[in-house]
Amino acid sequence: MEDNRKIERRKLITQYNPKLKMADTASPLTVGNGEFAFTADVTGLQSLYNRYKEDCPLCTMSQWGWHTAPAGSGLYQYTLEDLEMTEFSYRGRTVKYPKDRKAGNEEVYHWLRQNPHRLNLGRIGILYQDREIEPEELSGISQELNLYEGRITSIYSLDQQPCKTEVCCDSESDTLGIRIQSPLLMEKMMSLFISFPYGSGEITASDWISEEKHRTELVSRGDGEIILKRKLDRDIYYVTIRGNGLEFDAGQIGCHILKLYGCRDTMELTVTFSKEMPKMNMSCERVFKNAEEYWKAFWETGGMVQFCSGTDQRAAELQRRVLLSMYLLAVNCAGSMPPQETGLTCNSWYGKAHLEMHFWHSAWMPLWNHGELLERSLPWYLNHRKEAEENAAKNGFKGIRWPKMVAYDCVDSPSDIAPMLIWQQPHIIFMLELLYLSGRGNEFLQTYWNLVKETAEFMADFAVYDEKDQKYDLLPPIIPVQECHRAEISKNPAFEVEYWRYGLLIALKWAERLGMEPDHRWSHIYENMRDVKKTDDIYMAHETCAETFTRYNIDHPSMLGMLGVLPPGRIDEQAMEKTLEKVIGEWQYETLWGWDFAVMAMTASRLHKPELAVDCLLKETPKNDYVKSGNNRQKTRRDLPLYLPGNGSLLLAVALMAAGSSSDPEKGKGFPDTWEVLCENINPYV
C-alpha cells in the first residue's frame, strides 16, 4: 500500500551508509560523479592495491581515459577492413559479420577486440616508512561511505598510531579531494604516493610491468602545485596535484611514481586528472563542498521509496539495495557515453560499453526523476549516427544499426556473439520515450527525432515480409537476448519480436506528436508482426526452440520480458503466468544474470503477484548477491566483481512495483499488502 507521509530522506539514506570494520576485498567503496570515479580500500585510498586486485581491483577511471596499444611494428592500428568476415546467407544475399577468428587473421581479430581499452589513470596510496603498507599493520578499522555527502571517511591505526582519511570527488571536474590526519605525517613516517601503469584491457586496466612503454614527465612545479604529463603511445593526459605545505619527491617521476610529504599532522590536497592541460585551481575544501552540495541535491530532488514494514525482514534488505544502487549508478553510469558493465570501477570486456545493457544501467533514471543523468549520454548517440549508418549499410540495410560492444568510437567489436545481437536497437527509442513521458517537451522531440526515425528505419528494413502468411519475421542470423542460441537458426526470438513492435509504435507516436508523416511500413509491421511461438500455452525462446525448458533453460529467460519490460499488448497473460511458473520451477538459477531477477519481478508485478515479485528481486543465488558496498557481484564469475545492470534493473523493477504503470489501472500493487510503502516523485512505468 502507498502512504502520503513525507520521507525524511537524509535520515533514511544515512541509515544505510556502508560501514566496514575490516578490509573486505569484495566490497571496496567508490566516489565519483558519472564522468570519473575512484575506488578505495579501507585506508580510504589505494594503499592495499595488491591485496584487492584478485577480488575487486582498485582503479581510477574516467569516461575519456582510454588507451590504444600499437598493432605492431610499423603499424599503429587495424580497422574492420583488415578483418576477415564471416559470411551468412540472408534473404538470398550474403551478409558479413566480424564473428569468427579466421586462421591467419587472429592478430587482427584480437587487436580489434582489445582496443581501445579503458585505462586506470593512476594509483594513490599511503606509504609507511617509505614502503607500502601491509594489511596486518592496520587495526581499529572503521570506514564509512556517507551517501548523502559522497564522502568516504576511514579511521584506523597504523602501527598503533591514529590515522584518518577523508576522500571525495568533485561534482564539476575529475578532481579528488583528499584529507589525511595522523601524527605520522609530521614525523615523516607517513607519506602519500601516486603511481602510474601502462594501459591494459585486463580487469585491472593496468600493466605495471611495461615501464618502458609509457612516459611520465614533469610539466611544471610551483608553490604547492605539480603538473605531470602522461604519455602512453599516442594517448596523453595530465595529472595536477595541489596542496598547501606539501613537499614533493620528484626523483622517481621517470619511474612513474611521485611521493608527497607533509609538514604538519594534516595533509590536504587535490588531485585532478584531465585530458587537456588543466586550467582550474580548486582547493580541497571547495571539492568537499561541491560534493556535499551535489549529493544533497541528488537525494532530495529525485524519486524516493521507503519500505516501512517492521515485520518482513526482506524490506530492510531491499531498501539497502535500492539506496546503494542509486548511489553506485550515479557514480558509475551517468556520464557522457553509455557505461561498461562494471562502470568506472574496473574493466569488463576491455572497458567497452555493451549497448544492450544501456537500458538496464539507465532506464530507471527518468522514472526516478533523474532523467538528467541519462541525458548526459544522449549526445554520444547523436555524434555517432554516421558510424551506426555505416554499420547498417555494410550489409545493405537502411537507417542506423547500433553495435553491441563498443569503445568511445562506436566501432563494432569482433565477437562470436556481439555483431549479431539485435535487441539493443529499440533501446534508444524506448529510453527517449521514457524521458519524454517524464516531462520533456516539444524541443526534446525535435532534437532527437532523427535518432528515433533512423533507428526505426533500420528496424523496419530488418523485418522480412512473408507474402504467403502476410506476416513479418525476424530472420537468422540473429543472436537473441539469450545468447546461448545459434545465430543460424534463431528465428523470431520472442522478446525481440515484441520489442520490434513496441519500438516502432513509439516511433509512430513521435511522428504524430511532431506532425510528421511516418514511414507506412512502421504501422504495417506493428500490425502484422508474427505471433510469438507458444507450446502447450507456454512461450518459447524463439520459433524453432522446442527445447526451451530442457536444453536451453539457462542464461536469460528473455520471453518473460514481453510482459515485464514491455507493457501489455498481444501477450496472453495466462500463458505468461504459466511461462513464469515454469521458469521459476525449471530454470538453472546459477546461470541467470543480475538483471534477470528484475525481469522476473516485473513480470510477476504485471501479473499482480506482489509476494512473488519481491521473492524474485531478493532470490538467494550466486548472481543476485549484493555485497556491503551495494555492488551486484556475479559470484560465479571472477571477471565481474560488480555488475551494474543488476543494480539498474532493480531500480526499474522497484519503480514499476511502487508507482505502477500507465497501462495498468491497478497502480501500486507491486508490494505485499502487509508492507507500508512511501513513494515520492516516481513516475509510472509504461
Q: What is the pLDDT of residues 271-292, one digit of tens each?
A: 999 999 988 788 999 999 999 9
Nearest residue to 540 via CA among 475, 490, 585, 606: 490
pLDDT digits (tens, 9 = 90+) for 658-667: 999 999 876 6
- The mean of the pLDDT values for the chain is 96
> Roughly what angle, to the nearest 10 degrees, separates helices 442-462 and 494-514?
140
The pLDDT, as a whole number, for residue 1 is 42
What is the largest distance, in Å, between two alpha-carbon atoms of the chain?
86
Which domains are present in the chain? 23-67+116-284 (2.70.98.50)
Cell of 101: 577468428
Of 199-208, 211-220, 240-249, 577-586, the poorest mean pLDDT is in 240-249
On whether the CB atoms of residues 205 and 120 are closer than 8 A, the answer is yes
For 590-623, b where at least 16 C-beta lie within 10 A, e where not — what string? ebbbbbbbbbbbbbbbbbebbebbbbbbbbeeeb
pLDDT above 70 for 668: no
Which residues are paired to 217 by β-bridges?
Answer: 229
Radius of gyration (Cα) for the chain, nearest Å?
26
Q: Return the exposure string of 551-571: e unless at least 16 CB atoms fall within 10 Å of the residue's CB, then b.
A: ebbebbbbbbbbbbbbbeeeb
Mean pLDDT of 535-557: 97
Confidence at residue 72, expressed as pLDDT on a 0 to 100 scale: 86
Q: How far apart are CA 446 and CA 667, in angstroms?
A: 31
Task: Decide if pLDDT at 2 tops 50.
Answer: no
pLDDT tens digits, 642-660 = 999 999 999 999 999 999 9
* Pairing between β-strand 257-262 and β-strand 161-169 as defined by DSSP bridges: unpaired
Beta strand spans in 402-542 (E): 405-406, 464-466, 471-473, 534-535, 538-539
Going by pLDDT thresholds of 50, 70 and 90, the confidence category of residue 244 is confident
What DSSP character marks residue 613?
Answer: H
* CA–CA separation, 435 and 180 (whole Å): 42
pTM: 0.98
Predicted pLDDT of residue 510: 98
Residue 680 backbone dihedrals phi, psi, to 5 degrees: -125, 130
Mean pLDDT over 357-370 rounds to 98
The three-point CA angle 508-461-507 to 5° equals 15
Q: All 3 cell numbers of residue 382?
A: 547523436
Parallel/antiparallel/unpaired status of strands 464-466 and 471-473: antiparallel
SS3 category, 102? coil
C-beta of residue 544 within 8 angstroms of C-beta of residue 489: yes
263: how many CB neighbours lie within 10 A of its CB? 12
